[in-house]
Amino acid sequence: MPSPESMNDEPCPVARSVDVIGDRWSLLIVRNVFDGMRRFGDFQRSLGVARNILSDRLKKLVNAEILEMRNASDGTAYQEYVLTAKGESLFPVVVALRQWGEQHLFEAGERHSILIDKHTGKPVPFMGPISEDGTALVPAETEVQKVK
Amino acid sequence: MPSPESMNDEPCPVARSVDVIGDRWSLLIVRNVFDGMRRFGDFQRSLGVARNILSDRLKKLVNAEILEMRNASDGTAYQEYVLTAKGESLFPVVVALRQWGEQHLFEAGERHSILIDKHTGKPVPFMGPISEDGTALVPAETEVQKVK
DNA sequence: CAGTATCCCTCAAGATACTG
DNA sequence: CAGTATCTTGAGGGATACTG
């Protein structure tokens, strides 16, 4: 791209959105947060992304006010990432992409799951989606049915 | 990316979708086709993208069966690009991105339009969305209202 | 554990000239 | 007009070592 902020003056909403979340990793991080994932190491293992890239994307997502950091809910002194209201409103985007992919990018009967540990190759145990304020989110699968 | 096809074996539908249309230009091309744009030169002027990149993206979109080529509807001997059924089913994705962008990426009262000629800076005259089989598509703006 | 700091390399993207 | 061919650049991304 010519300049880092090149799309920010684009008059098209789609173009601006693509500029913010239209890279290889951002939306996948957001998707994982929707599925209850909150910590750096979990993102890293699940996505198989390099640590520096992950660090950079998380910063950009926080900067774009899609994610925000807060103290970990368990005892540890570490931080965790949660969706802001702006981030949660990306839900329809993720659902639309998921639906399109399911319908057009999979063979009949092919298995599709979401959270896989890139090292062990095993599914990551489901953590249960939790919203920023602690209330439960509707699981993605359920929402897919509803939208359809 | 490690290999060109790296995401094709991803078990997550969102990941595969992002791999197909998650670059800077593909979705913007598709958006323009939804708005009735069909020709190479129009894409080029509207998006300001380099010709070789545009050529490459159009090929990939045709290859992914999102667009297909057909003889131009006017007298000319040239081709034009139209959406396949698979391509048209990307509509919810484009709408979701547009809505999110409108709500979160624009100042109050800021003007947002879609088709701008990157050289003249003037809006491209609206061409009227036409589907693959010649029937009219619901304009994006209308759909936004309905979905909301 | 959650990052930061380096180094390196590939590829996406732009510019431009050329062709049918 | 609708591309193709060629060259160059810089950002995106990976690997790895290091730090609080």
| Residue A127: φ, ψ to 5° | -105, -10
CB A49 within 8 A of CB A131: no
CA B47 to chain centre: 11
**B58 within some domain:** yes
C-alpha–C-alpha distance, residues A127 and A36, integer Å: 5
C-alpha–C-alpha distance, residues B95 and B145, integer Å: 10
Taking CB atoms and an 8 Å cut-off, how many pairs form between chains A and B?
127
The mean of the pLDDT values for chain B is 76
Return the bridge partners of B69, or none.
B81
Say whether pTM exceeds 0.85: no
Domains contained in chain A, number: 1
**B100 within some domain:** yes
CATH code of the domain containing A102: 1.10.10.10
CB A13 within 8 A of CB B112: yes
Q: Are strands A67-71 and A79-83 parallel, antiparallel or unpaired?
A: antiparallel
**A17 within some domain:** yes
Largest CA distance in chain B: 46
CB B51 within 8 A of CB B145: no
Rounded, the Å distance between the CA of A44 and C1' of D15 is 14
Query: What are the tens digits of pLDDT across the range A32-82?
Result: 999 999 999 999 999 999 999 999 999 999 999 999 999 877 667 678 999
CB A31 within 8 A of CB A40: no
DSSP A145: H
The mean of the pLDDT values for chain A is 76
| Position B86 pLDDT exceeds 90 | yes
Query: Is the CB of B119 less than 7 A from some atom of nucleic acid strand D?
Result: no
C-alpha–C-alpha distance, residues A88 and A92, integer Å: 9
**A1 within some domain:** no
Q: Which residue is nearest to nucleotide C12 (CA to C1')?
A: B53
Question: Is the Cβ pair B11, A105 closer than 8 Å?
Answer: no
Question: Is the Cβ pair B28, A17 closer than 8 Å?
Answer: no
User: Of A18, A31, A99, which has the smallest distance from its Cβ to B28's Cβ?
Assistant: A18
Query: What are the tens digits of pLDDT across the range B11-37?
Result: 789 999 999 998 889 999 999 999 999
C-alpha–C-alpha distance, residues B131 and B118, integer Å: 25
Q: Kindly list the residues from chain B whose CB atom is less than 8 angstroms away from the CB atom of residue A1.
A: 24
Q: Kindly list the residues from chain A whose CB atom is less than 8 angstroms away from the CB atom of residue B15.
A: 28, 101
**A2 within some domain:** no
Sign of the dihedral defined by the CA atoms of residues B90, B96, B102, B106, in that order: negative
Domain of residue B39 covers 13-141
